[in-house]
Structure 1
Amino acid sequence: MAIKSFFFEKGPKAVILMHAYSSTPNDVRMLGRALEKENYTVYAPLFKGHGTTEPEDILNTSPKDWVNDAKEAIQFLHEKGYKEIAVFGLSMGGVIATKLLVDKEPVLAGGTFCSPVMNFRNGNNVRKEFLAYVQILKKKAGYSELEINDLMPEVERKLDNQLDEISELTESMEPHYSEINHPIFIAQAGQDELVDPQIAISFRKSLKKASIVDFHWYENSKHAVTVGVDRKALQADVSNFLKQLDWNGG
């Protein structure tokens, strides 16, 4: 069964949580539930092409689609009556959250969790991980080794094109990081196996005008910090960050 977005409707303060590349909102569900318990309304959109059993569905979309998904998430909450919104994302979701800040979308604050917001092509192992993910799904679907081997060149071609598009997106964003004046939360796992942890440190240094930069390093966590050993600490830190924000001017 396909995985969908989730919407936990609770209090007047709204939070958007965005999932990682090739993943689903399950990445951020535990964080969403923790924030719901603290009276936040939480929406986690499913990025186009994700949440299916066919990995090629992801490769038939683009980062522009996911940015549009994020902007539609803001619109969805506005239509529900939520005017002030904080946006966070894990990995690729954090890139999209940061893009909303760069584009001056109507959000109160932003946050990244282990996100490759800089030096995208050289600073991560996303390509290797995605190709392994494709092979696992194809084996589960009953494909033979020969059939999988026949499929992989086209998958690699499409993947490389998509990773180039993501790299172009982050390169277009980087010159504008020094102009962001929103409060920003940055979480980084010390044992991140997918994204170079130093990217988070460089990102923090690039934020010259941000009114708050709340940086957290989780030494024992791997890439999926939202579901890892430090998830409770992350939940508390995100909660504390949200309490600092100027909701409704007060």
Structure 2
Amino acid sequence: MKELTGKVAVVTGGNSGIGAAIVLELAERGAQVVIDYVAHPEAENELERKIASLGSRAVGVKADISLVADIELLVSRAVSTFGQLDIFVNNAGIETRTSVLDTSESQYDKVLAINLKSAFFSTQIAARQMIKQEAGGRIINITSVHEDWPMPGNTAYCLSKGGMRMLTRTAALELAPHGILVTAVGPGAVATPINLSTMKDPALMQKLDSVIPLGRMAKPEEIAQVVGFLSGGGASYMTAATLFVDGGLMHQSPGL
């Protein structure tokens, strides 16, 4: 039997990039998955087909996770479709690549709403459901090396990821008595659409690869495998911690 057979997961931003890789990883481990998306329903439909071929089940839900009502919809759909909620992955995120001096109010509000507000209320709503079930659970936040490592020119994004760092730690302590483990995964540079402008520029790619000790960007699947680990029995004594998956990037000079 696969390790996550009988478990139900929700993944926000689940139909592209790291999110799609996480959805497939959890399904391969036996979980049934609710896939949150806001655009490209064809990508979500393709994921459902792939998951069916793995012998698992998935359902897509179009939801704007900056809205509390839509987060409640994701959790209620998980329960109504699959009967429970065991794993919630706060993966959705955006950035503006703007500095303190240049970030507008609307840019700031959008980044913080999608990256941090959504993670806070998803944690709250998912935890309430898990407490009701009396069987514990896992909440996994996809943060970034920038929860800890400054990135000049991307200030709102760094603020949101730093906030997720403290959400992970504080919520983990509050929810521990209920058997709910709260952890984070902090990717470095990953080959996903959010980094497309860098990936299209050979000079930028050469510069980036040169400061990563492993010499390359991560594949989305490499992040997803860590999420799979944190969802399973091997991580049963882990909470309030971030696992950085960055190829050693944080230990280099941040001169990017």
Smaller-chain TM-score bracket: 0.3 to 0.5
Structure 2 length as normaliser, TM-score? 0.44
Structure 1 length as normaliser, TM-score? 0.45
